[in-house]
């Protein structure tokens, strides 16, 4: 198992991949379901700006950039957990445990977000997206988490 220091380093990279891919999914689902691709990302900024942020649909520094920054931070936190528990599987190209680990961490993130977190600190994008789309967003995080390890394994050869 990796040290926490190594998990933090690797999590910064895998968290960036998870954040980017899940944000693409947020935008695609927001476009499809609400005709507003930025609304789900903007909604995350309700942590700072309150419920008015849930209705903001246009690009803005106040909502879009802050929403993405919060999302990126949360994705990185979960990526550190992934790297600590499962990151070595990806580096060893053990596909099943690496991907299963990514999905397990994403499922844990979803559980924490919607069962343990106070309503005020939930992601906010659930106001714009169906449960199907929420599944796709968390699944995209889960599938992205092993990418860093697979790429690192290729570079070691």
Is 75 in contact with 18 (CB distance < 8 Å)? yes
CB within 8 Å of 47: residues ≥ 6 apart? 70, 120, 121, 124
pLDDT value at 7 more than 70 = yes
pLDDT of residue 63: 98
Quick one: which H or E segment has residue 150? helix 147-155
pLDDT value at 157 more than 60 = no
The rounded percent of the chain whose pLDDT value lies above 90 is 96
Q: What is the pLDDT of residues 43-97, one digit of tens each?
A: 999 999 999 999 999 999 999 999 999 999 999 999 999 999 999 999 999 999 9
pLDDT value at 136 more than 60 = yes
pLDDT of residue 154: 73
pLDDT value at 37 more than 60 = yes
Mean pLDDT of 9-13: 98
Q: How many CB atoms lie within 10 A of CB 50?
A: 10
Query: Model pTM?
Result: 0.95
- Helices 66-91 and 4-34 pack at an angle, to 10 degrees, of 130
pLDDT of residue 84: 98
Q: How many CB atoms lie within 10 A of CB 157?
A: 4
Mean confidence (pLDDT) of the chain: 96
Mean pLDDT of 110-120: 96
pLDDT value at 156 more than 70 = no
pLDDT of residue 76: 98
Is 23 in contact with 141 (CB distance < 8 Å)? no
pLDDT tier for residue 155 given thresholds of 50, 70 and 90: confident
């Amino acid at each position: 198992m990796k040290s926490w220091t190594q998990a933090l380093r690797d999590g910064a990279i895998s968290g960036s991949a998870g954040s980017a891919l899940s944000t693409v999914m947020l935008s695609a689902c927001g476009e499809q379901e609400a005709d507003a691709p930025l609304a789900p990302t903007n909604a995350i900024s309700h942590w700072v700006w309150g419920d008015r942020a849930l209705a903001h649909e246009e690009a803005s520094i106040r909502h879009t950039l802050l929403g993405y920054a919060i999302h990126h931070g949360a994705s990185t936190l979960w990526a550190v957990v992934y790297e600590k528990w499962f990151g070595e599987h990806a580096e060893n190209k053990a596909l099943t445990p690496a991907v299963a680990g990514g999905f397990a961490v994403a499922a844990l993130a979803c559980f924490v977000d919607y069962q343990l977190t106070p309503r005020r600190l939930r992601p906010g994008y659930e106001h714009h997206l169906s449960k199907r789309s929420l599944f796709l967003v968390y699944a995209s995080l889960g599938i992205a988490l092993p990418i860093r390890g697979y790429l690192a394994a290729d570079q070691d050869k």
